[in-house]
Structures are given as structure tokens and as C-alpha cells.
Structure 1
Amino acid sequence: MNFPQLPKSTTYLITGTAGFIGFYLSKQLLQNGLHVIGVDNINDYYDVNLKYSRLEQLKQYENFTFINGDISDKNMIIETFEKYKPKIVVNLAAQAGVRYSIENPDVYIQSNLIGFYYILEACRHYPVDHLIYASSSSVYGANKKVPFEETDFVDSPVSLYAATKKSNELMAHTYSHLYKIPSTGLRFFTVYGPMGRPDMAYFGFADKYFAGEPIKIFNNGDFENDLYRDFTYVDDIVTGIERLIHHPPTDEVPHKVYNIGNNNPEKLMTFIETLERCLSNAMGKQVVFKKEFEPIKLGDVPATYASTDALQQMVGFKPGTPIEEGLQRFADWYVDYYKVKEINTLTQGSV
């Protein structure tokens, strides 16, 4: 399917630009010669050095403008829209993490609800061609019907994080109804890849291994009824977003929601074994994790599995990067970025 070139005169506002997906999307748009305004508050939810490393890459582009700010700062958001008048807005700024939302609920309300409200208000007063925003596969809760389809019941979230993402969809629908803001919500499914989020399991497994520590697997050691996850490589996410930019909803209520997932759930243990092989390849020697099994954590769900039919029908694209390929790219990056040669001898002894 052929798509028109994105007009070079259009200004793109990407929030969460120092974050994982925000970085890759911004970089892709910048490489296409587009003008990107990036907003991020560089919070310390995880290692800020990784965020600064991403930003340093983006700042190499002359067509990139960075604003260090929080989307829950209403004045900053309004001033940004007033000054730059973005026509495409991609809101990827949010407090992420299911488990962290149980420990620290305040930041989820501040960023995911109040911050998103200010984005919507700005799009209302400074009209945009398309607002795309991050939702999450977590809105499906403990749904047992698979694959998850956009028309499924999503009114039983099992974490505050999921509740904020479902709220975003409702808020966006309301603003689309009242003010005809073309908006699209994207339900991401377990995104992974190089320069990813250290709070994600695959990244944490690598950290634990090189620290000489066991990894914790929250499936009770039940291999027959293991957790399933629809692991989605970050490049597939970016391709989906980039194509959807061309397709703002045109219905009477111009609001749509799409899954972006790999449509191929893997057992968690299969994913772990693949990561061991990929790290072994990157290190040139065998890597085997020490494993500890624990009960599933509060707020976790047993399976995620995306139907991507709606996305494919709209833009002719279906994520499909196999985990062997995606995890190898992550492992190669990790070994190079952190310059790891062996397990930490202070904690593990000689290797």
C-alpha cells in the first residue's frame, strides 16, 4: 500500500520523546526531514542516563526542538501549542508500569489523567489534524477471550494503570464527539527492543544476570499454564504509528482505537530461553539465568494476545518481527551499551 509523503511543513508534537517509543518515533520522523517538537520531563522512574542518551541522538537533528517539561503543567502545554501550532500530536508521555501503579498511584493520576486532559484541551483550542495517543493492552484486564479485539468488553481493569488508560480512551472519545478532534488510541502490547525500558522484564533479566543475581519469574513455576505475552518489537510500533498518521478518523465521532501487537503470543519461559540464547550469541559464551519462581503479582494478567485485523485493514500493516530477531538486536545493543564482558565478579565470583 502506498502512502503520501508527510508534508515537510507540518509540525509534529511528540510527548514523552525521551521515552522508549517516543524516541524511536521522533527519530524516524526526523530522518524523514520533518519538524519535531519533543516534550519530556525526564523523570527518574528509571535510569535517566538512558533517557539522556536517547535525547542526545535526537538533538543531532536540526529539525528537532526539545522542551523539558511535564504535560501536567497546563501553562507549558498551552504555550507550546500557541507557539508551534502542531498539526500532528502524538501523546506518549505517561507514567508507565502496572506494578508501580499499586505503589505510587499519585503520579498516574497526575500524568495519565490530568496531563492527558491538558493535551485534549490544547487540541480543542488549537485545532490539530490528528491526535494519536498511547493506550495499553492492560485495558483488557483478565479477559479470557483471545485474541483481544477492539470491540471486546474493557470495563474491568485490574490495575490503576489500566484504569487510567481506559479513562484516556473515554476522554478522547468525548472530546472527539464534542469538538470533532480526530483522535486515535493505540493499545500497545508488551513493547521491547534496544534502548528499551529497564523496568520491563526482559531488560531486568539481563540486568540481574550481569549482576550475578537470579531472575524472578512470576508464574509459580507452572510451565503448563505459563504466562503468555504478545511481545511487540519497537520498530513495528513505530511503523504502525507512522502509517496511522495518514488516517485520522472521519466518522461522525472521529475517534478510533487500534491494537498494535505481534498477534503471536509467546510463553514467558520461551521468551526467557530465547533471551538466554541471544545473550549467549552477543557474549560469545553460554548465558543461563538462575531462576526463582514466585506467585503472579497483583495487577498482572495471565495472557495478552492482540487481534490486529483492524490495523491491517486500515493501513495494510501487521507487526511481525519474531522474538528471535528482536531479542538478538536487544542483546547486541545491551552488551555494547553497558560494555559487559562477564558476570559481576564482586557478586558472583569468577566466571
Structure 2
Amino acid sequence: MTQKTFLVTGAAGFIGYHTSERLLARGDKVVGLDNLNSYYDVRLKESRLARLQQHENFRFIKCDLADKAGMEQVFRQHQFDVVINLAAQAGVRYSLTNPHAYTDSNVTGFLNVLEGVRHSGVPHLVFASTSSIYGANTKQPFSETQNVDHPLTLYAATKKANEVMAHSYAHLFDFAVTGLRFFTVYGPWGRPDMALFLFTKGILEGKPIDVFNHGDMVRDFTYVDDIVTGVVAAADNPPEGDKNWDGDEPNPATSYAKYRVFNIGNNKPVKLMEFIEAIEESVGKKAIKNLMPIQPGDVPSTCADVSALEKAVGFKPDTSVKVGVENFVRWYREYYRV
């Protein structure tokens, strides 16, 4: 396989770090971009980055997606075969109190990525969307063919905006675009604002953990290595336009343009209480549970239909929650010397 040059935005982030590692391990060049913002502990981002910087084929650029001039310079100075946009302001609850962070990064920032791809002739853009986009939908498993016009948070709304912005650029400027709707990703080097991290920390410290919706939640927890396998396979397989696409009965998942959106999840939903039990087992301690009502913007259940991604690139997640949680707890103990 010929060596490619990838731009990975959000390279110091959880999924961006793992994706960059995988690309470097197979011999590709990676330009990693991140603004190293303080949404969570910057030291964790710097630790991920330090590991990437051990590779000779990795180059880091500190830049904010919303910095128009900075982003123009990145695309002027490098020629990329593929752009994987994983930088975003993440988190559902944070969007209730810091809405402008989401429009800056996820709308203005994403526009700067699209413009960079367009003007420098990058043939393929892969970008992160989210399972949150299904919003008020209740029919499960969630399928890409469903309408997604009822987001429940601004975060989800900005990701919906990304999908429609990307489609318009694929139509206008004839480059390939793949959107990936991530379902609850977990694993080593994960985000401190995510349930697995918070629960593990709380249980180890003997402190109560907040369990929302009184524990009556179901999530399609997906191990990060499985996610990365799907991201890289999608990056290697740019979509073609669908010649049979019908404007009278438009399929939201495909297009006459070189555009696809895919769910990327485990397709094996797990009850939150079972997930907590797996953590308790790995840690060797019982959790003190603080049962709380559902939070604004949260959905009770998520489950991904991943048959489209399986058909397109052979995506088959195979890491059990037991194994994935054990791997995370082992990493957490090592990293934080617990």
C-alpha cells in the first residue's frame, strides 16, 4: 500500500490520538492538528501528543479550527491525501451552558475545514458526526435512512449542520465526503468527562457516582480500537455517487454526490447498570450509586444499525464490554499510578 499523508484534526483528543497511532503504525504520514483547549485536563492531551511525537512520520500543528487564517496556512503548506476531521467541541451537557463553543468549533471550524479541502484539492474528507443526531427518534436500532430533524441539544444540531454542509460541498466541488455517526466510544486514553472515566475514578476513590435516569439507560458502548478500524477503513474507501439515488424519495444516507453517512457503533447495546458492574468487577470494588433523574438533552437508549458500514468496508466490531472495560481500568491505574 502506498504511503499517504493524512491531516487528523483533534489529534490530541481521544479518538484522534488512537486514529493517528493506527495510521502511523501502518506507515502513513500524519499531520496532527489540535488547539489543546481546556475543556478537560490539558495534561492528558499533552501525554497523548507526546506518544505521537515519538513517530518520525508525525508532525504537530497547534491551531484552532475556527482560526480562518491559521487553517488556510495549514492547507497551503501541506498536500493531504485524506482529511479526517475529529476535532469538535464535544459533550452533550456542556452545550447547555457554553453554546458558543459549539458554533465556533463545530460550525465555523468545520466550514474552514471544508474550504481547505475544496481549495487544496483533497480528494476525500472523513468527519465525525454523532449518535446524538437521532435526537427524539425512538425506533431502534437507529438507521442512517431515518429522518434526523429533531435534535435534542445544540451539540447534536451542530453535527446535523456538519452533515448538510458536507453534502453541499460534495455536490458543488465534487470531492468525496464520509460522515461517521459515533456511538458511545470508550477505552484507554478516554475523555475524563465520559461515564467510564468518571465511574472508574469515583469507585477507586470510594466516592459516590452520579447515575442518571436512575440507571435506566442503554448505550451502544463501542471500544475505541473497533472504532478506529472503521474510521481507517472508511478513509481508505471514498464513496462514489449513487446513480440510483432518487430525488422524489431521497435516501438521507446516500446521494448522487460522492457523499455517505454511516453509523459506527457496536450494535450490542448494554444497560448502564451492567456497564457499572463490569467496572466494579475490574476495579474490585462496589460503586456507591447516587441515582438521579435524566439530564436535559440525554436520551434513554441508543443502538446502532451498522449493516451499511459492514457492507461498505467490512466493519465488524468484536470487543466485548468486559474486555474493553478491563483494558481501560488497567490503563487508568498505570497512567494515574493508582
Given that 1:262 and 1:306 are in contact with CA atoms closer than 8 Å, whether structure 2 keeps it comes out as: yes
Confirm whether residue 216 of structure 1 aligns to residue 216 of structure 2.
no
Residue deviations 1:263-298 (CA, integer Å, cap 9, x gap): 000000010111110112xxxxxx111011110000
TM-score by length of 2: 0.94
The aligned residue for residue 130 of structure 1 is 124
Q: Cα distance, 1:17 vs. partner?
A: 0.1
Query: Among 268, 271, 277, which residue is 1:273 paired with?
Result: 277
Residue 250, structure 1, aligned to residue 226, structure 2: no
Q: What residue is the counterpart of 2:12 in the other structure?
A: 18
Rounded to whole Å, the distance in 1 between the matches of 2:126 and 2:18 is 15
Q: Distance in 2 between matches of 1:302 and 1:153?
A: 19
The Cα offsets for residues 318-345 of structure 1, whole Å up to 9 and x where unpaired, read as 21211001000001111111111xxxxx
Aligned pair partner of 1:110 in 104, 110, 117: 104
Instruction: Give the letter for the 1:103 counterpart.
Output: T
Q: Aligned pair 1:334/2:332, yes or no?
A: yes
Name the CA distance, whole Å, in 2 between partners of 1:107 and 1:245.
Answer: 27
Instruction: Let me know the Cα RMSD of the aligned residues.
Output: 0.9
Q: Please name the residue that 1:319 is paired with.
A: 317
Residue 267 of structure 2 corresponds to which residue in structure 1? 263
The structural deviation recorded for 1:220 is: 2.8
Unaligned 5+ runs, structure 2: 242-255
Give secondary structure in 1 for the equivalent of 2:90.
coil
Could you tell me how far 1:76 is from its partner in structure 2? 1.2
Worse-superposed segment, 131-140 or 252-261: 252-261
State the identity %: 53
Contact kept, 8 Å, 1:101 with 1:160, in 2: the verdict is yes
Mapping for residues 18-57 of structure 1, pairs under 5 Å: 18-57=12-51
AA in 2 matched with 1:338 = Y
Contact 2:263 2:304 in 1 (8 A): yes
Amino acid at match of 1:143: N
Inter-partner Cα distance in structure 2 for 1:275 and 1:130: 39
User: Counterpart of 1:54 in structure 2: which amino acid?
Assistant: R
The whole-number CA distance in structure 2 between the counterparts of 1:123 and 1:339 is 42
3-state SS, counterpart of residue 93 of structure 1: coil
- Alpha-carbon distance in 2 for matches of 1:181, 1:33: 25
In the alignment, is residue 68 of structure 1 matched against residue 66 of structure 2?
Answer: no
Deviation at residue 246 of structure 1 after TM alignment? 1.9
Q: What's the secondary structure of 2:66's corresponding residue?
A: coil
Aligned-partner Cα distance in 1 for 2:326–2:201? 16
- Give the deviation of 1:107 after TM superposition: 0.4
8 Å contact kept, 2:29–2:57: yes
1:166 matched to 2:160? The reply is yes
> How far apart in 2 are the matches of 1:329 and 1:257?
30
Aligned to 1:230: 220
Q: Please give the secondary structure, in 2, of the residue aligned with 1:219.
A: helix
Is the 1:147–1:305 contact (alpha carbons within 8 Å) kept by the matching residues of 2? yes
Counterparts of 1:325 and 1:26, CA distance in 2 = 23
Q: Is the 8 A contact 1:37 1:66 kept in 2?
A: yes
Mapped partners of 2:318, 2:155: distance in 1: 27
Structure 1 residue 227: Cα displacement: 0.8
Structure 2 residue aligned with 1:346:
none
Establish whether residue 149 from structure 1 lines up as the match of residue 143 from structure 2.
Answer: yes
The TM-score normalised by the length of structure 1 is: 0.91
The residue type paired with residue 198 of structure 1 is P
> Number of matched residues?
324
1:244 is displaced (CA, Å) by 1.1
Aligned letter for 1:267?
K
Instruction: Tell me the CA shift for residue 168 of structure 1.
Output: 0.3
- Which ranges in structure 1 are unaligned for 5 or more consecutive residues? 281-286, 341-351
| Aligned residue number for residue 307 of structure 2 | 309
AA at the equivalent of 1:261: G
Q: Contact conserved, 2:204 with 2:283, CA < 8 A, in 1? A: no
